Amino acid sequence: MEQNNKPTALIMIFGATGDLAKRKLFPSLYRLFQKNSIDKFAVVGVARRPLTNQEFQENVKDSITTFTDAKENIDEFVSHFYYHSHDVSSSESYIQLKGICDRLDSHYELQGNRIFYLAMAPEFFGTIAEQVKEQGLTDTQGYKRLVIEKPFGHSFESALELNERIRTAFAEDEIYRIDHYLGKEMVQNIEVIRFANALFEPLWNSRYISNIQVTSSEILGVEERGRYYEKSGALRDMLQNHMMQMVALLAMEPPIKLTTDEIRSEKVRALRSLRPMSKEEVGNYFVRGQYDAGTVNEKEVPAYRTEPMVDPNSNTETYVAGKLMIDNFRWAGVPFYIRTGKRMDVKSTYIVVQFKDIPMNLYYKTGETLHPNLLVIHIQPDEGITLLLNAKKTGNGVKSTPIQLSYSNKGVDSLNTPEAYEKLLFDSMRGDATNFTHWDEVALSWKFVDTISEVWENTKDETFPNYPAGTTGPKCADYLLAEDGHFWWPVENLDLQDC
Ligand code: BG6
């Protein structure tokens, strides 16, 4: 990691006219600029469309005034932006791009530091990586880093092929694979909650934990992304990456140091301990769903099968729930339940750690069953922690009642929580790859997910569509837990509204 905490970089954004650049990347860079975290930088927007530098700067202005409350230093900020109209497969186009980069490098004194940010269709990732090397763009005095968006392949085989192609131009430690969940404040907090509290770490194992649940539900449907989503489904879109990453953080052993390599290697070990499934067993561990028409926020919304660019007989899942078993000493017998879906009733991501019941219920005479202790980590939209304990019910007699200790991240340190992308962009400029996924993590999660997708792609689910939009998903997801004597914890009663 660089010592100077104000990094310098020339950032090439491939796909600079796309949605991600507009919604996330330009606003994040603006916030970093406003906080004075960066000053020596230049951005070259790279995309097919012909645009002048001025037109591109207008786009950037539009983006930051729409997605941030930008009022100050707007012209100064956008003056760092340049544009190159690019043909991905033309060597000549890369040579021109190199000319622009070299000029900007000396103009802004960027010490040859280069970030290649690929925010575009994955079929071009390999070509771009090879071309930037062949045409000498990676031949630089400073660092060179490749920041790459998902999807990273659509199976283990395709991910491996892609990895081999990008590795011809970049070493593993120069590759920053984005999983934007790793940039979320409360996802980063998982490690701190676990490793900085004497209260939790001794209990964080199969002796005291009954099960762990990770839920990420969305209200939005597939929107305009039907073409991509038809081939991806919830399994590849959310589970292979975001959900598995959260499981790895919850399950990993304490690293010996908080360095990138140590943390990543513990995550890899956790993923290596995932119990493999045979194809015949997939149905015992995973369920899928697809949304039907329904009502969301009092508005009628269409079924997945009638969304744009979706096959009217589509077999693609928009919901997935599963049980992961981690067969190691710490977690033997503890199920990790995960679920994610589109067009659900709420937008909410949270983790519930359910502790085992105490050995004996002394309150049984009053007819009470004790509420289990729960630790809830609220990831979004609320950010915080709730600990559910039992305490005496006020009044005569000794009865217990569940109480909540809640902490909300809102307004802490009088800072707004930075956007995931802001943190990740800054990390990539500083050379901190901790919150990016290592190839070994990607490979292991693809291998796990491939078994499920092979089965699902080859068997049509005749029950589809099996949940109305605006609900909590298909019933069969409840049976998955009921078989083990568990149920999904809804967090409505555990939210942070009152804190
Ligand atoms: C993306 C998926 O990775 O994550 C989208 O491609 C999904 O389909 C999004 O909507 C969810 O992210 P967040 O941060 O809104 O939970």
pLDDT tens digits, 400-430: 889 999 999 875 554 566 789 999 999 999 9
Q: How far, in Å, CA of 76 to CA of 61, rounded?
A: 11
Q: pTM for this one?
A: 0.94
Q: Best substitution site from 152, 177, 180 to test ligand 1's pocket, by max atoms within 8 Å of Cβ?
A: 180
Instruction: Give the position, in ligand 1's atom list, of the atom nearest the Cα of 150.
Output: 3
Q: Best substitution site from 238, 239, 338, 422 to test ligand 1's pocket, by max atoms within 8 Å of Cβ?
A: 238
Q: pLDDT: is 393 or 187 the higher one? A: 187
Confidence bin at 391 (pLDDT 50/70/90): very high
> In this structure, which residue's CA is closest to atom 6 in ligand 1?
237
Confidence bin at 347 (pLDDT 50/70/90): very high
- Distance (Å) from CA 29 to ligand 1 centroid: 20
pLDDT at 138: 96
Beta bridge partners of 148: 118, 177
pLDDT at 359: 85
> In this structure, which residue's CA is closest to atom 14 in ligand 1?
181
Q: What tokens appear for 203 in the block? A: 């209990």
Q: How far, in Å, CA of 65 to CA of 428, rounded?
A: 24
Q: What tokens appear for 167 in the block? A: 């590795």
**58-62: average pLDDT:** 97
Helix (H) or strand (E) holding 85: strand 81-85
Instruction: Give the position, in ligand 1's atom list, of the atom nearest the Cα of 184.
Output: 14
Residue 395 reports pLDDT greater than 90: no
**244-250: average pLDDT:** 98
Write out the E strands in 344-434: 348-355, 374-380, 384-392, 400-408
Report the candidate in 280, 214, 225 with the shortest Cα–Cα distance to residue 248.
214
Orientation angle between helical segments 156-167 and 125-134, nearest 10 degrees: 10
In this structure, are residues 441 and 245 in contact, taking their beta carbons and an 8 Å threshold? Answer: yes
Confidence bin at 451 (pLDDT 50/70/90): very high
**How much is the mean pLDDT over the chain?**
93
Q: Best substitution site from 237, 349, 351 to test ligand 1's pocket, by max atoms within 8 Å of Cβ?
A: 237
Phi/psi at 321 (5° precision): -130, 145
Question: pLDDT tens digit string along 301-323?
Answer: 999 999 999 999 999 999 999 99
- Distance (Å) from CA 480 to ligand 1 centroid: 24
The burial of 333, by beta-carbon neighbours within 10 Å (0-12 exposed, 13-18 middle, 19 or more buried), is given as exposed
- Amino acid identity, position 72: E
Q: What tokens appear for 218 in the block? A: 């969305």
Report the candidate in 254, 266, 122 with the shortest Cα–Cα distance to residue 201.
254
Instruction: Give the position, in ligand 1's atom list, of the atom nearest the Cα of 241.
Output: 3
Instruction: Give the position, in ligand 1's atom list, of the atom nearest the Cα of 229.
Output: 8
Question: pLDDT tens digit string along 106-135?
Answer: 999 999 999 999 998 888 999 999 999 999
> In this structure, which residue's CA is closest to atom 9 in ligand 1?
238
Helix (H) or strand (E) holding 190: helix 185-195
Residues lining ligand 1, Cβ inside 6 A:
218, 237, 349
- Distance (Å) from CA 303 to ligand 1 centroid: 19
Q: How far, in Å, CA of 461 to CA of 58, rounded?
A: 48
Which of 81-95, 205-219, 246-260, 389-403 has the least mean pLDDT?
389-403
Instruction: Give the position, in ligand 1's atom list, of the atom nearest the Cα of 342.
Output: 10
Look up tokens 């930075």; give the residue: 418
Residue 168 reports pLDDT greater than 50: yes
pLDDT at 415: 52
- Distance (Å) from CA 367 to ligand 1 centroid: 44
Q: How far, in Å, CA of 134 to CA of 233, rounded?
A: 35
Instruction: Give the position, in ligand 1's atom list, of the atom nearest the Cα of 242.
Output: 3
> In this structure, which residue's CA is closest to atom 8 in ligand 1?
237
172-175: long-range contacts, CB 8 A cutoff, minimum separation 24: 172/438, 172/439, 173/433, 174/143, 174/144, 174/145, 174/146, 175/145, 175/146, 175/148, 175/436, 175/439
- Distance (Å) from CA 307 to ligand 1 centroid: 18
Report the candidate in 440, 366, 360 with the shortest Cα–Cα distance to residue 398.
366
Task: Kindly write down the DSSP assignment for every residue of 321-357, as one continuous string.
Answer: EEEEEB-STTTTT-EEEEEEESSBS--EEEEEEEEPP
- Distance (Å) from CA 36 to ligand 1 centroid: 29
Q: Give catalytic residue positions.
A: 242
Q: Determine the 3-state secondary structure of 154 from DSSP.
A: coil
- Distance (Å) from CA 366 to ligand 1 centroid: 47
Phi/psi at 354 (5° precision): -100, 120
Beta bridge partners of 325: 335
> In this structure, which residue's CA is closest to atom 15 in ligand 1?
218
